[in-house]
Chain A
Amino acid sequence: MNPVDFASYFRDNLELDLPPIPSPYENKIKLVAKSVFGSANPEKLLYNLDDFLNEVVSKPVKDYVVMGIAEKGEDTVCYYAVKGPLALFVQLPLSQKGRINNAFAAIKPIFDALEKNQGKIEKDKRLLVVFSHYRGSGCQWITGHPGEIDDKKWDPNRPLLQALNALSQL
C-alpha cells in the first residue's frame, strides 16, 4: 500500500486528520499489518500498549513510527513513535475523533521541539510520553536501561503539553 492509500485510510475510512509523520519516514509509510501503517511491522498487537512500553523502557529501541486501529472492545486509534530520545505513545478511542485530531496536531510541535533541541539532550536520557485513554498517561525523562520512573513526579495530566515543555526548556 502506498502513501496515498495511507492518507486515504485515515481521511476516508477513519474520517480523521492525517497523523504527523516524523522524518525520515514522510513518504515511507506502508501497510505493515492489518489496519496498521508504519515504518516497519511492530510484530506486536497495537492494543497491547504495555508491550511497547516495556520494550522502550527496558532496552534500546530503533526508531519507528506505527499507527492504526486496534480492534478490541471498542475501536482504538494508536500512534506510537520512537525518534531518538523521544518515545511517544498515544492510544485513544476512535469514537473521540476530535480528541484524536487535536492530539495529532499537538504532536507536530513536539517533533519540532525535538528537532530543534535534540543536541542538548544528554546521551543516556530519553523522554517517555504516554497518552492513553485506557492505560493512563504521563511524561517523564528516564535514564539508562531499564529506565525507572519516579512515581511521585509522574503527572497524568496533559502529557503532550508536558512533553512540549520538556523538550523546549532544555
Chain B
Amino acid sequence: MDMAEGKSPTVQTREVKEVLQTDITAEVRNLMKANNLKALAGLYDADFIEMKDDRLFTGKTTFSSGFNPANAKSAEGLVDLHIMDIITGQCDRHPGNYKVKNGQLKAIDNDCSFGVNALPEKGDVKKQRALKGFIPNNGSLMLRMPPVINQSQREQITNLYEKNRQALQEGLQVHLTDKEIGATMVRLEKLYRHINSSDCYVLQKGENFLSENAVNRLDPNNSYWARELMVLNPDQTGGWNNLRKSYRQSAALPNPE
C-alpha cells in the first residue's frame, strides 16, 4: 500500500510517575532493596525505573507508528486504509499493523479480515470478543464508518458498489466462503449508503483531511488519525490496552451483546 507522502518524524512522549508509598508492597520493597531494577521495570511495565531513598519512580516512553499527524497526505492514507478495513472487515488494525516509513504507509497482518461477524448491525464490532467472553479486552479495533472522505474515495466506493460488485464477488469466490462474501457485500453496501448520507462529509475543493470541516468530525472511534492523537497524548500512555479499555468504557457505544 503506497498512500502517504512526506517524511514521518519519530514521535515520542515521556512520562514519569511516583509510585504511592501505600502501593509499594513488601514484595516490591524487597526488589527495591535488592536493586532489581529489571524486575521492577517488568512489574510496572515501565521503560525506566528510578529509586530515591525509599521512593520509587516509573517512566514510560511512548512511540507512535511514525504517523505524522500534521501531514494531510498521511491522514488521507489512513482514511484509505480505514475504507479498506471496513470493506474487508479487518478488526485488528492497531498501529503495530501499519507503519509509516519514508512517506509510505504499509499495512500488515490482515489475517483478521473477512469475518462473518464483523457486521455493523450486530452491534458495535468493538464489543465482539474472540474468546466468547473469556478475555474482555480482546475487542475488535474496527472503527465506525469514516465521517469524512474525499471526492476520489467517494468515486471509488461508488464505482465498486454500482459497477463492480459482481466482479468483486467473483474475485472473492476463489478465496472465501459464501458467508464471508455475503458479509463483505453487506459491509460494502453499508459503506455505500453511509457515504451518501448526511453522516458523511465529502471534502470540498481546497479542503484536505486536516481542514476544520474534517477534523471537527473526527474522534478515536471513527478515525485512525484521531486515534493516533489519542495514543500520543501523555495521559494515554497505557498504550493499546488502554485504548481498547477506553473504547469499552465509551458512553457513546452500545452495551455488549
Question: Of the candidates B25, B26, B41, which one forms a contact with A102 in the assembled complex, judged by CB atoms under 8 Å apart?
Answer: B41
Instruction: Decide yes or no whether B201 CB sits under 8 A from chain A.
Output: no
Q: Is the CB of B39 within 8 A of A136?
A: no
State which size class the interface on B falls in.
Answer: 35 or more
Q: Chain A 122-166 against B: per-residue CB contact (8 Å), 1 yes, 0 no?
A: 000000001101111110000000111101001011101100110
Q: Is the CB of A50 within 8 A of B25?
A: no
Question: Of the candidates A106, A146, A156, which one forms a contact with B242 in the assembled complex, judged by CB atoms under 8 Å apart?
Answer: A156
Instruction: Decide yes or no whether A99 CB sits under 8 A from chain B.
Output: yes
The 27 listed contacts between A and B (C-beta, < 8 Å) are A50-B130, A53-B131, A53-B135, A57-B134, A102-B38, A102-B42, A102-B45, A106-B42, A134-B96, A136-B135, A136-B138, A136-B240, A136-B244, A138-B137, A148-B133, A149-B135, A151-B136, A154-B136, A154-B137, A156-B238, A156-B245, A157-B241, A158-B45, A160-B42, A161-B44, A164-B28, A165-B25
Residues of B within 8 A of A157 (CB): 45, 238, 241-242
Q: How far is the CA of A154 from the CA of B241 in the complex (A)?
A: 11
Residues of A within 8 A of B27 (CB): 109, 113, 164-165, 168
Chain A residues packing against B (C-beta within 8 Å): 17, 50, 53-54, 57-58, 72-74, 93, 98-99, 101-109, 113, 130-131, 133-138, 146-149, 151, 154, 156-158, 160-161, 164-165, 168-169
Q: Chain B 231-257 against A: per-residue CB contact (8 Å), 1 yes, 0 no?
A: 000000010111011000000000010
Residues of A within 8 A of B240 (CB): 133, 136
Cβ-closest chain B residue relative to A156: B241
